[in-house]
Structure 1
Amino acid sequence: MKKPEDHLTPSRAAKRAHYQPDEIYPILDEALFCTISYSVNNQPFSIPTSFVRYADKIYIHGSVGSHFIREIEKGIPVCITVMLVDDLVVAKSAFSHSVNYRSVVIFAEAEKIEDYETKYEAFKWLTEKIVPNSWDYLRPMTEKEVRKTTALAFSLDKASAKIRTGMPNDELEDKELPIWSGLIPLPGGRLAPIPDESSKELPLPPHLA
Structure 2
Amino acid sequence: MPDTAIPPSYPITPVNRVKRRHDRGAYDHETVHRILDSAMLCHVSYVIDGQPYCTPTLFWREGTHLYWHGSSASRMLRNLDKGQPACLTVTHLDSLVMARCGFNHSADYRSAMCFGHARLVTDIEEKKRALTMMVDRFFPNRTAGLRQSTAQEIKATAVVVMEIEQASAKIRAKGLADDDEDYALPVYAERIPVTTVLGVPEPCDRLLPGVERGEDLKAYQPWRLLEEALRESYAEAYP
Q: What TM-score, normalized to structure 1?
A: 0.88
CA displacement at 1:84 relative to structure 2: 0.7
Q: What does residue 20 of structure 2 align with? A: 12
Counterparts of 1:37-186 in structure 2, within 5 Å, are: 37-186=45-194
CA displacement at 1:25 relative to structure 2: 0.4
User: Aligned AA for 2:121?
Assistant: I
Q: 1:2 to 1:178 in 2, by over 3 A?
A: same
Q: Aligned partners of 2:157, 2:41: CA distance in 1, in Å?
A: 18
Counterpart of 2:15 in 1: which secondary structure?
Answer: helix
Q: 1:26 aligns with which of 26, 34, 38?
A: 34
Counterpart of 1:2 in 2: which secondary structure?
Answer: coil
Q: Aligned partners of 1:177, 1:164: CA distance in 2, in Å?
A: 25
Q: 1:172 to 1:73 in 2, by over 3 A?
A: farther
**Matched residues, number:** 209
Alignment deviations for residues 97-122 of structure 1 (CA, whole Å, 9 cap, x no partner) = 11111111111111322333322222
Q: 1:202 to 1:48 in 2, by over 3 A?
A: farther
CA displacement at 1:128 relative to structure 2: 2.5
The answer to whether the Cα contact below 8 Å between 1:81 and 1:105 also exists between their aligned partners in 2 is yes
Q: Aligned partners of 1:182, 1:6: CA distance in 2, in Å?
A: 36
The answer to whether the Cα contact below 8 Å between 1:72 and 1:78 also exists between their aligned partners in 2 is no
Q: Aligned partners of 1:119, 1:3: CA distance in 2, in Å?
A: 29
Counterpart of 1:136 in 2: which secondary structure?
Answer: helix
| Structure 2: segments with no counterpart, 5+ residues | 1-8, 222-239
CA displacement at 1:24 relative to structure 2: 0.5
The answer to whether the Cα contact below 8 Å between 1:54 and 1:125 also exists between their aligned partners in 2 is no
Q: Aligned partners of 2:79, 2:20: CA distance in 1, in Å?
A: 32
The answer to whether the Cα contact below 8 Å between 1:73 and 1:152 also exists between their aligned partners in 2 is no
Counterpart of 2:144 in 1: which secondary structure?
Answer: coil
Alignment deviations for residues 69-117 of structure 1 (CA, whole Å, 9 cap, x no partner) = 1123432211211101111122122221111111111111113223333
Q: Aligned partners of 1:95, 1:180: CA distance in 2, in Å?
A: 15
Moved more, 52-61 or 182-191: 182-191
Q: What TM-score, normalized to structure 2?
A: 0.78
Q: Aligned partners of 1:12, 1:48: CA distance in 2, in Å?
A: 25
Q: 1:117 to 1:158 in 2, by over 3 A?
A: same
The answer to whether the Cα contact below 8 Å between 1:89 and 1:184 also exists between their aligned partners in 2 is yes
Q: Quote the sequence identity (%).
A: 32
Q: Aligned partners of 1:25, 1:77: CA distance in 2, in Å?
A: 20
User: Aligned AA for 2:148?
Assistant: P
CA displacement at 1:168 relative to structure 2: 1.6
RMSD: 2.2
Q: Aligned partners of 1:191, 1:54: CA distance in 2, in Å?
A: 28
